[in-house]
Chain A
Amino acid sequence: MAGSSVKPTPLLRDELDIVIPTIRNLDFLEMWRPFFEQYHLIIVQDGDPSKTIKVPDGFDYELYNRNDINRILGPKASCISFKDSACRCFGYMISKKKYIYTIDDDCFVAKNPSGEQINALEQHIKNLLSPSTPFFFNTLYDPYREGADFVRGYPFSLREGVTTAVSHGLWLNIPDYDAPTQLVKPLERNKRYVDAVLTVPKGTLFPMCGMNLAFNRELIGPAMYFGLMGDGQPIGRYDDMWAGWCMKVICDHMGWGVKTGLPYIWHSKASNPFVNLKKEYKGIYWQEDLIPFFQSAVLPKECVTVQQCYIELAKQVKEKLGKVDPYFIKLADAMVTWIEAWDELNSLEDKSSKQPNGTSK
């Protein structure tokens, strides 16, 4: 295993799609050009479908607006949120690639402490292609990293690790705080570059942020449903949280790993805390019931595919969270609809009815 030369990270150019939800514009892509230009983009246009979103020249992309989503999914389109970045999960569903990287349109290239630009996508690929270690905590963080290793006491039988399903990146500058924290600390900026990738231990939940996230779509894709948020829904800004909790329960059940830490991106836009508070308000209370629910969720061993796990979770959501608020009954149904739509779109390669609104080479 020794060797001083570091193997270059594979590009995975034909195996990875970049999914970007947007309602405004894609100017931010200019800064990412050197890192993204070789990849295929899936743009999910939220809001008014009659508006034209200009994609900077030279990018290979497919773009879907609400009309496309409705046309492709028919009545099942009801599970895809409107007027919320949760709509991005349509991009996961429509993709045909093995890996997905999703990023928000107010996220830019960050610099590491040496002043070099961070290739976030490359780091995510490294994270996804190297194993995770969820069964025993390594105090030196990622043991597969150049210059690191497993510490004394780490059992050898666990040193192969498991497949990594999700790579959760972080953000410098505007931190991902909830509305109350934003109101109390409007000027706080995340300036701390923590040079580590670590596996979130099995059985441990965390708040998964969708701003800078990559995952193995072939493995965990069906669990990455971002819920019912935005227009017509009582809650917002919990889409990625919801997906993260469902995803983690399923990854723990299936024996896959979830990493968090590097890479950092530069988060430039602080959303309005008062608007956020209105969206999150219910979530802040519901969370107190959601967390114990997910912490104690058990999937029967008969659930051997992600879809089966997800349907089972939806059943439990309906049973146990339905009494918290009728929203969860609707959400549980939407979760099932999502799986049905996923299986439909991903079973046969029938491209004829799935043309997006805009493609460019």
Chain B
Amino acid sequence: MPLANINDSEVDIVIGALQSDLTSFMNEWRTIFSRFHLIIVKDPDLKEELKIPEGFNFDVYSKSHIDRVVGSSSSIVFSGYSCRYFGFLVSRKKYIVSFDDDCIPAKDSKGFLIDPVAQHLANLTTPATPFFFNTLYDPYREGADFVRGYPFSLRNGVTCALSCGLWLNLADLDAPTQALKPQQRNSLYVDAVITVPSRAMMPVSGINIAFDRESVGPALLPALKLAGEGKFRWETMEDIWSGMCLKVVCDHLGLGVKSGLPYVWRQDRGSAIESLKKEWEGVKLMEEIVPFFQSMRLPQTVATTEDCVIEMARTVKQQLGPSSPVFTRAADAMVEWVKLWKAVGSGSSPL
């Protein structure tokens, strides 16, 4: 899919490495990744050296880099899946695409290999339409348009800040759901990109995402860390929390969020039942998190992404803090993240 208006040099692909041997992962992605610069962040808890095959343009960041930049007294913990946020922090590119390291390219319903990077970039560089739902889905796609009844004043759309992709094979279900249906795999290829309407909240999965770092970088944040957080997606909610913050920011600033294509193939890994035994706190917390974010309205005076995050952190501490220390810690981490972003994340010189 040709992208006339994006230079490969405007893109960073950020991979959080939770496994040390990235050889087969990188080889599966070779034809797609080799054009781009990659930022690979090693989970600080990982003891072994990373194995990365030849032929890629990449930088690796590990515990020592993280400690040097962030210091030891930070309320932000970059371990596990959250290590990738360090990559978002140090990148200097306009667009970031990020995949979990247990995902490989998928094939579409006709058997062709899908280039998810190209699709994400297409999503980010065409407008989103959050103020009115188009029943033919993405009106900017080839062969589609706005339907009868769609107001003309809304047809310019808004900038798309976040593109959320999906997963074939192992879908991003929570542990109880997957444990109940251990054989269930997602084989349904839905050929659509949809703008998630303004004020509609959604769970953003970090497994397959891309975003406009320039517009909303500070709003993708490592804040919610579960007590039993682990190295499987069933044992974490950090991306869900980050996504809710990001959606509130986008709704407030008039930016768009898309969901749908592209698909990646997510490999089987771990056991839902084992994860469920270990970690169920996340499922409980969502009951409070969702109503909280659904009713969040930022004051009109808050006009930048950083200020949105600070304001949200304040509200989190006030309203959610009393019910669980995990929220107080999240609020502190959000404030810390903005400070870090201002110190390290902005500016033109790389680390």
Contacts and interface: CB of A to CB of B under 8 A. Distances in A.
Nearest to B176: A156
A200 B173 contact: no
B135 A206 contact: yes
Given A170-B135, A193-B191, A194-B191, 7 more contacts: A136-B200, A136-B203, A153-B240, A154-B174, A176-B147, A177-B145, A209-B149
Contact of B196 (A137, A170, A205, A240): A137
A287 B151 contact: yes
Interface stretch (B86-94, B178-186, B316-324, B327-335): B178-186
29 contacts: A135-B294, A136-B202, A136-B203, A137-B201, A137-B202, A139-B172, A147-B186, A150-B174, A150-B177, A151-B203, A152-B173, A152-B174, A152-B234, A155-B286, A156-B287, A157-B287, A168-B135, A175-B145, A191-B143, A192-B144, A194-B137, A194-B191, A195-B190, A196-B192, A206-B132, A209-B135, A209-B148, A209-B149, A288-B151
B133 interface: yes
Nearest to A291: B151
Contact of B135 (A2, A153, A260): A260
Interface in B17-35: none
Contacts of B152: 284, 287-288
B343 interface: no
Given A141-B190, A203-B200, A241-B148, A152 B240 contact: yes
The 8 lowest CB-CB distance pairs between A and B, nearest first, are A207-B149, A153-B203, A201-B200, A137-B202, A206-B133, A153-B240, A204-B197, A241-B149
A147 B181 CA distance: 10
Contacts of B233: 152
B283 A151 contact: no
B145 A205 contact: no
Given A152-B203, A194-B191, A204-B133, A185 B181 contact: no
A256 B244 CA distance: 24
A124 B187 CA distance: 22
A13 B206 CA distance: 45
A63 to B, nearest CB: 28
B171 interface: yes
A148 interface: yes
B163 interface: no
B140 interface: no
B173 A150 contact: yes
A149 B147 contact: no
A154 B204 CA distance: 10
B300 interface: no
Contacts of A135: 294
A233 B181 CA distance: 56
Interface of A: 1-2, 113, 135-141, 145, 147-158, 168, 170, 175-178, 181, 185, 188-196, 198, 200-209, 237-238, 240-241, 244, 260, 280, 284, 287-288, 291
Nearest to A198: B194
A139 B136 contact: no
B136 A175 contact: yes
B205 interface: yes
Contacts of A181: 145-146, 148
Contact of B191 (A192, A203, A206, A208): A192
Contacts of B192: 192, 194, 196
Contacts of B196: 137
Nearest to A175: B136
Contact of A156 (B172, B197, B283, B294): B283
Given A147-B188, A190-B136, A209-B135, A178 B203 contact: no
A153 B180 CA distance: 16
Contacts of A280: 148
A139 B148 contact: no
B109 interface: yes
Contact of A188 (B143, B197, B198): B143
B197 A201 contact: yes
Nearest to A168: B135
A156 B109 CA distance: 31
A149 B143 contact: no
A340 to B, nearest CB: 27
B172 A151 contact: yes
A1 B186 CA distance: 17
A2 B137 CA distance: 31
B148 A170 contact: no
Contacts of A136: 200-203, 290
A279 B151 CA distance: 16
Given A150-B173, A151-B171, A205-B132, A139 B259 contact: yes
B189 interface: yes
B201 A207 contact: no
Interface in B97-148: 109, 132-137, 141, 143-148
Nearest to B260: A139
Nearest to A184: B145
A139 B202 contact: yes
Contact of A148 (B133, B137, B174, B186): B186
A155 B287 contact: yes
Nearest to B193: A194
A237 B150 CA distance: 13
A152 B259 CA distance: 15
A237 B148 CA distance: 9
A84 to B, nearest CB: 14
B199 interface: yes
Of A151, A203, A204, most B-chain CB atoms within 10 Å: A151
A238 B143 contact: no
Nearest to B196: A137
B153 interface: yes
Contacts of B186: 140, 147-148
A277 B109 CA distance: 38
B246 interface: no
Contacts of A148: 186, 188
Contacts of A205: 132-133
Interface string B279-300: 0000100110110001000000
B237 interface: yes
Contacts of A150: 173-174, 177
B131 to A, nearest CB: 8
A238 B187 CA distance: 38
